[in-house]
Amino acid sequence: MMTGTSPQHHRFQSNAGQHVLVVPYSRIYDLPLDFAERLDAGEHEALAMIAALGLPGAHEMPLDATVTPTPHSISLNVSSSCNLGCGYCYASQGRFGGSQPEPMTFETARASIECLFADRDSTAPLTIGFLGGEPFVNRTLIHRAVAHASMLGRQLGRQVGFSVTTNATLLNDDDIKLLRAHRFAVTVSIDGGEAVHDAQRPLARGRAPGSFRRLTQAIGPLLKDPGLAKIAARATVLPGVCDLEDRFKDIIGVGFTDVGFSPLRTAPTVPGFDDREWDRYLRSLVALSRSELERAMAGRPIRLANLAIALKQLHRGAASPYACGAGGGYFSVAANGEWYACHRAIGNPEYRLGDSRGLDEPARRRFLSARTVHAKADCNRCWARYLCSGGCHQEAAVRTAASCDFIRAWLDFCLTAYCDLSIGQPAFFDRDTNAA
């Protein structure tokens, strides 16, 4: 059956019947067949009813408001080097093209953490992330920063969580104890089985064993006994190698239960996806998602993070004019103490918005106003605009019709999956055990 779409709504169907996504505020409704047909025929009264369903509720913010919340999440770029030499690294192994020649000192980390805790009236949970280069090159700082933030959290009655993105090859027993003992979201960069991973993520000095074996040996004890840590695997998909199924199996085989894929869209020195890749990638992602959906229908968790996260966002009605918190609730601190809107933009003056002594609020407001999805002409008429939100700011320059078609096709698949699962296994959405 043909289904209709407009900037205000997107029609789709599932095994459960006919549905509509009302674009503002991402509201999903089941439709009687006769109403669905009237809507698809463009009947004025049906379209007006859908438009009314997209109005803000009493406590909902207008979607076009520019808000500058108190930051609740920072990442600290603690290291300016890495023991691997991945060709696609956005950070040039932590040096950011020469902008970050030295690692962060504890004094810089402490000032940033104390700035995050500065709003004494707030009770919002805080998150402190560690990035690099490879963050565990600067492990002493991580251990001290976690101790300091935890102490402040106890003193000030604030909940504090941590995150780290790591290649995991350098983890030692003390690091594992630290990760187990705190609420740590640990993201491990692993691109597939040994052959794929070692080819894409070689050791900087090429010694044996390769990075895959080092990673699996080092992360094994944490996977077996994670304590308070939540561990996720994230794989970068390079052009020409879009088949996900084998990689997924290989990564699951290591012991991960949460695996996400990110296609390489742009990198300083190697080419990212071009228009020919998206369709292949979509087919592979959907095929893998179908098998994970079967698991979910049988009452088991979804291990594919791309799908689990999308379903969770649809369930909570996620709708935002921003793809991420960059410059809003989230900032990334360079080793020299400057605050940037995004960790991929260290050294880029357009993203530099202050330091631990204070943010440049007018510059921040200008940054956010220029990057809302409403400021992007192509996005304004797209039904996916409050789910995709215009995408990552770093990737705006490589957005094409083919990459947008991929996003819409993927979201359409996820909407259908969401309705199927809501009927077939509603308990799925009550659990917190899924990879999301």
Exactly one of 235, 296, 302, 326 binds ligand SF4 (CB under 6 A); that residue is 326
| Residue choice 310, 379, 419, 435 for contact with ligand SF4 (CB under 6 A) | 379
404 is an interface residue for ligand SF4 by CB under 6 A: yes
Q: Does 393 bind ligand SF4 (CB under 6 A)?
A: yes
Stretch touching ligand SF4 by CB under 6 A, among 27-35, 57-65, 121-129, 322-330: 322-330
Whose Cβ is closer to ligand SF4: residue 337's or residue 391's? 391
Q: Does 391 bind ligand SF4 (CB under 6 A)?
A: yes
Give every CB contact of residue 136 below 8 A, 6+ residues apart in sequence.
79, 142, 164, 166, 170, 171, 175
CB of 334 to ligand SF4, least distance (A): 14
Alpha helices in 271-373 (DSSP H): 277-297, 305-315, 361-371
Gap between the Cα atoms of 341 and 325, Å rounded? 8
Q: Among 342, 414, 415, 435, which residue sits at the site for ligand SF4 (rule: CB under 6 A)?
A: 342
The stretch near ligand SF4 (CB under 6 A) out of 53-61, 212-220, 402-410, 422-430 is: 402-410
**Applying CB under 6 A, which of residues 28, 348, 408, 429 lies at the interface with ligand SF4?**
408
- Within the chain, what is the greatest distance between any pair of CA atoms? 69
Please report the DSSP string for 55-98 in residue order.
S--TTPPPTT----PPP-EEEEE--S--SB--TT-TTGGGTGGG
Count residues contacting ligand SF4 (CB under 6 A)? 22
Residues 66-105 interacting with ligand SF4 (rule: CB under 6 A): none
Compare residues 158 and 385 and give the one whose CB is closer to ligand SF4.
385
Is residue 324 close enough to count as binding ligand SF4 by CB under 6 A? yes
- The least CB distance from residue 406 to ligand SF4, in Å, is 8
| Three-state secondary structure call for residue 290 | helix
Token representation of residue 170: 């350098």
The amino acid at residue 112 is S
228 CA to centre of own chain: 21
How long is the chain? 436
Interface region with ligand SF4, contact rule CB under 6 A, candidates 228-236, 242-250, 318-326, 419-427: 318-326
Q: Residue 69: count other Cβ atoms within 10 Å of its Cβ.
A: 12
- As measured in angstroms, the least distance from the Cβ of 401 to ligand SF4 is 8
- Answer yes or no whether residue 327 interacts with ligand SF4 by CB under 6 A: no
Nearest approach, Cβ of residue 83 and ligand SF4 (Å): 23
Least gap, CB of 21 to ligand SF4 (angstroms): 13
The span from the CA of 309 to the CA of 119, in Å, is 30
385 interacts with ligand SF4 by CB under 6 A: yes
CB of residue 75 to ligand SF4, shortest distance in Å: 9
- Shortest Å, Cβ 205 to ligand SF4: 28
Contact criterion met (CB below 8 Å) for 146 and 162: yes
> Interface with ligand SF4 includes 164 (CB under 6 A)?
no
Number of other CB atoms surrounding residue 67 within 10 Å: 12
Quick one: which segment of 24-32, 62-70, 352-360, 386-394 binds ligand SF4 (CB under 6 A)? 386-394
For residue 410, the minimal CB distance to ligand SF4 (Å) is 10
Residue of 12, 71, 399, 435 that binds ligand SF4 (CB under 6 A): 399
Q: Which is nearer to ligand SF4, 192 or 390 (CB)?
A: 390
C-alpha 311/C-alpha 424 separation (Å) is 14
Distance CA 69, CA 326 (A): 11
Cβ neighbors of 234 (< 8 A, separation 6 or more) are 165, 187, 188, 189, 190, 259, 260, 261, 262, 305
Does 241 participate in binding ligand SF4 (rule CB under 6 A)? no
Does residue 63 touch ligand SF4 according to CB under 6 A? no
Q: Least Å distance between CB 283 and ligand SF4?
A: 18
CB of 312: closest distance to ligand SF4 in angstroms? 17
The Cβ of residue 240 has, within 10 Å, a number of other Cβ atoms equal to: 11
Structure tokens at 299: 């009452």
Q: Mark the segment that binds ligand SF4 (CB under 6 A) among 174-182, 221-229, 268-276, 382-390.
A: 382-390
- The Cα 315–Cα 414 span in angstroms is 11
Question: What is the C-alpha to C-alpha distance for residues 166 and 31, in angstroms, rounded to an integer?
Answer: 46
Distances (CA, A) of 200 to 212, 235, 239: 10, 10, 12
| Closer residue to ligand SF4, CB minimum distance, 176 or 373 | 373
3-state DSSP percent of the chain in helix, strand and coil, to 5: 45, 15, 40
Q: Determine the Cα–Cα distance for residues 16 and 226; give it in Å rounded to an integer.
A: 38
Q: Which residues bind ligand SF4 (CB under 6 A)?
A: 323-324, 326, 342, 344, 373, 376, 378-379, 382, 384-385, 388, 390-394, 399, 404, 407-408
